[in-house]
Amino acid sequence: MKMTGAEIVIRCLQEEKVEVMFGYPGGAVLHIYDELFKQEQVKHILVRHEQAAVHAADGYARSTQKVGVALVTSGPGATNAVTGIATAYMDSIPIVVLSGQVPVPAIGQDAFQEVDMVGITRPCVKHNFLVKDVRDLADTIKKAFHIAKTGRPGPVVVDIPKDVTAHTCEFVYPESVQMRSYNPVVKGHLGQIKKAAQLLAEAKRPIIYVGGGAVLSDASEPLRKLVHQLGYPVTNTLMGLGAVSGTDKHNLGMLGMHGTLEANMAMHYADVVLSVGARFDDRVIGNPANFAEEPRKIIHIDIDPSSISKRVKVDVPIVGNVPDVLEEMLKLIDGKKPDPAQTADWWQRIGEWRSKNCLGYKQDKELIMPQYVVQKLYEITKGEAIVCSDVGQHQMWAAQYYPFAEPRRWLNSGGLGTMGVGLPYAMGAQFAHPDATVAVITGEGSIQMCIQELSTAKQFRLPLKIISLNNRYLGMVRQWQEMFYGSRYSGSYMDSLPDFVKLAEAYGHVGFRVEKPEDVEPVLKKAFIDHKDDLVFIDFQTNREANVFPMVAAGKGLTELILAEDL
Amino acid sequence: MRHIISILIENEAGALSRVSGLFSARGYNIETLTVAPTEDASLSRMTIVTTGSDEVLEQITKQLNKLVDVVKVVDLSEAAHIERELMLIKVRATGKDREEMKRMADIFRGRIIDVTDSTYVVELTGSSSKLDSFISAIDTGLILETVRTGVSGIGRGDRILKV
Ligand SMILES: Cc1cc2nc3c(=O)[nH]c(=O)nc-3n(C[C@H](O)[C@H](O)[C@H](O)COP(=O)(O)OP(=O)(O)OC[C@H]3O[C@@H](n4cnc5c(N)ncnc54)[C@H](O)[C@@H]3O)c2cc1C
Ligand SMILES: Cc1ncc(C[n+]2csc(CCOP(=O)(O)OP(=O)(O)O)c2C)c(N)n1
Ligand SMILES: [Mg+2]
């Protein structure tokens, strides 16, 4: 049967079992919007800014195993989407962004609302396409979904000129994708896995270092088995939170710039490091030169060969999908537990680091400590909420004080560090999990970067709970200025903040302001219990000067960690 | 170290910019880059001459392989290979220089392919260093224009880059 390009787009989305997509209309995508209107299978969520459409699709993908989808118009719609695309790219999130384009004959003419979307996004996509012929459309969309979700996941942009959506051709959705240039490795090399198992068996000071790759590949089950089989300590990156339960006694917590003392020390002094889908980021190991001082053997499991030996030299590279590799490793270990005596000294040292209680903080009678709010949120949500964070100090406190029992419950922008993702991520997560409790942890700076989405949340009755840790500062910036720029708070003070309670109310939501520590718990309860079905915005007026500790300053080594008590 | 990387890439619009964009975004050197379709018109063959430490070269090959359109990548300079570059060089050829220029072209096995009263165009093929030597062997004051294609390379014997 002949169909128009616009019909084909929708049919492809249906074939891909897309249930929700996030978008914003405009001239170049009007044919597509018209087809969307005529069907019900793919639900379209109208956001208030294209950046949020992409973030919401990204949040949807992070909270599920599915590919998120966004639709934007050409020109400004497309450029507004770029921050969202780059954010997904840095954290390897599978999304497909469909962008409108001016008609093929107008391309290159500086036509109205023309931008070279393929050119603009090239450095921040896994791949992108410009479809110039309607006969290529179905094939291209099939490929886009395939590329987005296989191998190292990532965003794929499909740029579709308006005339292509009007032209017609026979519609056939390909059953599978064959690409001679793209065949990601899944199974790890058995010889390498054997070497790794051997090293692990002999380790005296082992550490299992877990990253976003373990979450992206849903590797929790084999990973937890491995940890318990070996009885070795685990640490995770900001992106790996929840892959191993945050309350598991093997878990030393997050490592890196704001990681725990025990995690950073264990990483530094380990004799064998097993990296599971983690990429030795600069916020994690600090300066690679300092990291290289201690001799250790590094085993690195990663599906992307370019992540391996990029920043530190790896002894046993294993290219493959985390669960596949771990299953093989478990088979090799075959129930043989290493003798606990072998690592007894190591656990003893870890115990000493742990006893410093590096996340301890001084409670205050008058001022609300931001850490306290997160702890109370954890209690009231029984640790079961999907927590979507923005970027700043509040993000670090959320990561430190809300231990995640399961993966895909912690949504945040790690690689790009994009302020403004929190609310749209929560929208994406709530659409994916309508019955889940979804909380946003944000700051008064970040929330204002996508605040318009309060309107979308109203339209679709999303009962999000927004926990704003309002320190009246761009706190993370202020902290660096306090520590490294002689307390010259240049541009980090947010003057003339809005009344967030009134703002929430103006959008038709419920708003509360909390100024005293004793009100934290009751108001949280009111929000999560009495106002279960409402969007509630809670403006916590927190201690302005609170800082995030521990901290490894940029360019320093993991052992040069600053603790709160050092100051 | 200097390396010659050969790439087979899908002959799609924008393929070249994906590769050149990768090099500039990641701060890798490109000394020369040549590209043209192969006998199979759906594939392009690219040759890039670059320099960098072993670690950088490892990243370059990995990052190139990661590009979705790239089918194969080899570092030709890892084993026996042949490299050739073509240069067209226009020189002033008057008086005693005219004979001298002809002689130099012969020594370097170049061919004079355009002649006027006062100029020659010499065509020269060889390794990049041979072309460099020619340039330094003649009086630079006589050079009017040079154009070089950049390096093409191929493995010797059984080393074959094909899908
Ligand atoms: C304000 C701020 C502070 C920060 N502080 C910290 C900090 O203290 N500590 C910290 O850890 N981070 C911190 N970050 C985050 C940091 O910038 C990085 O985003 C993060 O450390 C990267 O995590 P990762 O190594 O797990 O890699 P990810 O970016 O999650 O990458 C995943 C890796 O897994 C691989 N992979 C993907 N899928 C698979 C698969 N199926 N099989 C195998 N491998 C796969 C990928 O190829 C990639 O190499 C901070 C960010 C911000 C904004
Ligand atoms: C889009 C964007 N612009 C700038 C920054 C730099 N930045 C990182 S954290 C931060 C401050 C965030 O302030 P707020 O949301 O109030 O959080 P707080 O640190 O106070 O908890 C800034 C400006 C960024 N990460 N993203
Ligand atoms: Mg703030």
- How far is residue A74's CA from residue A115's CA, in Å, rounded to a whole number? 7
Is the CB of B37 inside 8 Å of chain A's CB atoms? no
Residue A113 appears among annotated catalytic residues: yes
- How far is residue B9's CA from residue A502's CA, in Å, rounded to a whole number? 57
Cis preceding-peptide flag for A295 (omega within 30 of 0):
no
What is A319-339 written as a DSSP string? Answer: ES-HHHHHHHHHHHHTT-PPP
The atom of ligand 2 lying closest to the CA of A395 is 21
Mean of the per-residue pLDDT values for chain B? Answer: 97
pLDDT at residue A567, rounded to an integer: 65
Express each pLDDT in A12-23 by its tens digit: 999 999 999 999
Alpha carbon A388 to chain centroid, angstroms: 9
Is the CB of B141 inside 8 Å of chain A's CB atoms? no
Nearest residue of chain B to residue A310 (CA atoms): B59
User: Residues near A358 by Cβ (< 8 Å), separated by ≥ 6?
Assistant: A260, A261, A262, A549, A550, A563, A564
* Binary contact (A181, B13; C-beta < 8 A): no
The encoded tokens of residue A383 equal 């640790």
Ligand 1 centroid to residue A239 C-alpha, Å? 5
A329/chain B closest Cα distance in angstroms:
25
* Binary contact (A306, B68; C-beta < 8 A): no
Chain A environment of B45 (Cβ under 8 Å): none
Are A138 and A173 contacting, i.e. CB atoms less than 8 angstroms apart? yes
* Binary contact (B62, A181; C-beta < 8 A): no
For residue A471 and ligand 2, the question of a CB distance below 6 A is answered with: yes
What is B49-65 written as a DSSP string? Answer: EEE--HHHHHHHHHHHH
pLDDT at residue A380, rounded to an integer: 98
- Using alpha carbons, select from A136, A325, A372, A258 the residue that is nearest to residue B12: A136
Residue A419 appears among annotated catalytic residues: no
Is the CB of B68 inside 8 Å of chain A's CB atoms? yes
Kindly give the parts of chain B with pLDDT less than 70. Answer: none
Of B14, B58, B66, the CB nearest to A118: B14
Q: ipTM of the predicted structure?
A: 0.94
- Which ligand is closest in space to the CA of residue A470? 3
Taking the model in full, what pTM does it have?
0.98
Residue A129 appears among annotated catalytic residues: no
pLDDT at residue B106, rounded to an integer: 97
* Binary contact (B55, A309; C-beta < 8 A): yes
Reported as type and span, the H/E element at residue B113 is strand B111-115
SS3 A295: coil
- Using alpha carbons, select from A225, A219, A261, A226 the residue that is nearest to residue A243: A219
For A281-304, letters b (16+ CB in 10 Å) and e give bebbbbbeebbeeeebbbbbbbbb
Chain A environment of B71 (Cβ under 8 Å): 180-181
Of A122, A179, A304, the CB nearest to B66: A304
Count of beta carbons in the 10 Å neighbourhood of residue A224 = 17
The atom of ligand 2 lying closest to the CA of A444 is 16
Reported as type and span, the H/E element at residue A129 is strand A127-130
Dmax (CA) for chain B in angstroms is 57
Residue A94 — left, alpha, or beta (φ > 0 → left; ψ -120 to 50 → alpha)? beta
Would you give per-residue pLDDT tens digits along chain A (567 residues)? 899 999 999 999 999 999 999 999 999 999 999 999 999 999 999 999 999 999 999 999 999 989 999 999 999 999 999 999 999 999 999 999 999 999 999 999 999 999 999 999 999 999 999 999 999 999 999 999 999 999 999 999 999 999 999 999 999 999 999 999 999 999 999 999 999 999 999 999 999 999 999 999 999 999 999 999 999 999 999 999 999 999 999 999 999 999 999 999 999 999 999 999 999 999 999 889 999 889 999 999 999 999 999 999 999 999 999 999 999 999 999 888 999 999 999 999 999 999 999 999 999 999 999 999 999 999 999 999 999 999 999 999 999 999 999 999 999 999 999 999 999 999 999 999 999 999 999 999 999 999 999 999 999 999 999 999 999 999 999 999 999 999 999 999 888 999 999 999 999 999 999 999 999 999 999 999 999 999 999 999 999 999 999 999 988 999 999 998 776
- How far is residue A151's CA from residue A54's CA, in Å, rounded to a whole number? 21
A514, β-bridge pairs? A540
Residue A112 appears among annotated catalytic residues: yes
Residue closest via CA to ligand 1's atom 29 equals A91
- Using alpha carbons, select from B72, B13, B5, B57 the residue that is nearest to residue B34: B5
Of B18, B58, B71, the CB nearest to A122: B18
pLDDT at residue A336, rounded to an integer: 86
Residue A379 appears among annotated catalytic residues: no
